[in-house]
Chains A and B, each alone.
Chain A
Amino acid sequence: MTVTIQVLFFASAREAAGDVSSTSMELAEEEATTDGLRKKLAQLYPGLASMVEDEDNLTLALNEEYVTSGEVLPLKNGDTVALIPPISGG
């Protein structure tokens, strides 16, 4: 059983991934968590690896809601995960 999600890359995350701004990803059932996703992204995008494995360096948003540090959430079909580097609005 696999889960298909949409991943959005913002700012330095996009640059680190080689200028990919969004992609569709298939995850195996056992990988289908926010944590599993981080590991998979590190494998698929080596330039992104050090950033994505560090929760302080890259925050995730699942369906437009922040995933808090230490939280591990399951992913289901159709979910959108955004990779958000440290923000500096204003």
Chain B
Amino acid sequence: FFIKVSEDLPSLQDCSDFVNDPSCGAISTFVGTTRDNFQGKRVTKLSYEGYVPMAEKELKKLCDEACEKYKVHKIAAVHILGDCFVGNASVILACSSPHRRDALHCVEFLIDTLKARVP
């Protein structure tokens, strides 16, 4: 697993390269970006703070759970800290699996669960 919570967010390419595996035919990725509106108001940036040691621990648990639910080989889960301006990525999730169905569903599981659980 490639897990990182930091002001220096790895790139989508970094995440994709990490999960790339010869035994896998599919890489699925999700990128969350800062939207320019929230509840009718204009947004210029979001500022993220996290309980970093616990966030990374929860991300690892998430990856372990994902591997139990889906046939995925590698997972990258990274989240930004600090300011994230409109259009920029705040979270990137990537996973690889032999066949496409597992990778697609796994990424959905990862983002849904991350939003609920990772402090």
Chain A residues in contact with chain B, CB under 8 A?
A: 8, 10-11, 61, 64, 66, 82, 84, 87-90
A-B contact count (CB 8 A): 40
Chain B residues near A66 (CB-CB < 8 A): 117
Contacts of A61 in B (CB 8 A): 51, 54, 119
Which of B57, B90, B118 contacts A87 (CB under 8 A)?
Answer: B118
Most chain B CB within 10 A, of A66, A87, A89, is at A89
Q: Which residues of B contact A (CB under 8 A)?
A: 32, 48-51, 53-55, 57, 79, 90-91, 111, 114-119
Known: A10-B49, A90-B90. A82 touches B118 (CB 8 A): no
Task: Using A10-B119, A82-B119 as known contacts, say yes or no to A89 and B51 having CB atoms under 8 A apart.
Answer: no
Q: Which residues of chain B come closer than 8 Å to A82, judged between CB atoms?
A: 51, 54, 119
Task: Identify the closest chain A residue to B5 (Cβ).
Answer: A89
A89 touches B118 (CB 8 A): yes
Partner of B115, one of A10, A11, A84, A89: A89
